[in-house]
Amino acid sequence: MKPKIACIGSATEDIFVKTDEFHFRKDKTHKGTDLCLKLGKKFDIDEIHFDFGGGALNTSLGFKKMGFDTNVLVSLGNDSTAKKIEIILKMEKINLIKVQSDKETGFSIIFRKPKGDRTIMTYRGANNKWNEKEVEWNKLKKMNWIYLCSFGTNIKFLEKIAFFCKKHKIKLVFNPGLSQRKLKLDKMKNIVKNCYSIILNKEEITEWTKKRNEMDAMRELNELGTKIIVTTDGRKGSSAFNGKKFFKQKGFDVKREDVTGAGDAFSVGFIAGMEKKKNIKDALKIGTANACSTITKIGAHNGILSFPKSEEFVKKHQ
């Protein structure tokens, strides 16, 4: 029997744009690079790509490829974008658990830069306007996993999901977005203590926990109750901590085309690895392979692999 998973979070329509008119300069705070366009000027677009994204949509497509019985719980508007998303999910045989919103469906513009980097502008719309009374909780009871990612700041709703998972013995994996991390860790303790795993990148986890390094940050979340904490660090790879031991996996050397969706792809691979291998070390390899494959293609989910293909990727690149 296939493992059942529900992805809860955001869904968007994405437009990827690339132009030679972009120029770059060091940020005055020395914390990064600014992407700039000349004010008042019209410019040509060299490449354009239309797709769909958002954490829940990306991961649901990924888990389907990995062999899961996949469900996705998202908030959608009453518009053409929502209809397109519904058609895609139906084609991919992913079960949609829909919450109707009076806001428009989420939308993103991704400005692609050389070597795969990007800058994203997002209209969150329906993704930030959830009506929890419309959630069909009965459809979630039989899940083996729930993957919870960015969608609004309703603490009571987040806690309800966490307590629901505890009651029904569902493994909850949490990838908190910026809006959730802004709520501060002390307000999120009821969610954190009921998580099977939390997945964040190095900067996110240290900022959220107010720790100087990722190892201390991982210990902090583990002490609050999360069983396995996972961090990613771009080309450098990923790490995990289970309360007893730290695990490390190097990144694989691939040509970067577009890094959008790399984190989602990693999460898909890691959870699939834990489900099928029951082993953190192997799960990090599968997650890394999936993320590295994704960044070789334009779009947040076009490079996502099946589980056998992920294993082949690991053998070829490690």
Q: What is the CATH number of the domain that holds 301?
A: 3.40.1190.20
pLDDT value at residue 299: 61
pLDDT value at residue 245: 97
Q: How far is CA 52 from CA 45, 49, 86, 284, in A?
A: 20, 10, 11, 26
Average pLDDT, the chain: 89
- Tallying the residues shown for the chain, one arrives at 318
pLDDT value at residue 190: 94
Distance in angstroms (rounded) separating the CA atoms of residues 110 and 242: 35
- Residue range(s) defining the domain that contains residue 264: 4-317
The whole-model pTM stands at: 0.88
pLDDT value at residue 70: 97
Pairing of β 12-18 and β 171-174: unpaired
Of 177, 180, 189, 140, which Cα lies nearest the Cα of 161? 140
Give the residues across from 199 on adjacent strands.
Answer: 230
- In which residue ranges of the chain is pLDDT below 50? none
Q: How far is CA 207 from CA 15, 179, 181, 202, in A?
A: 29, 13, 9, 9
pLDDT value at residue 120: 83
Domains in the chain, number: 1
Dig out the tokens for 144 from the structure.
């083996």
pLDDT value at residue 310: 92
Angle at CA of residue 96, ends 95 and 102, nearest 5°: 180
In the chain, alpha helices (H)? 55-65, 80-91, 155-167, 178-181, 189-192, 202-209, 214-223, 262-277, 280-294, 307-317
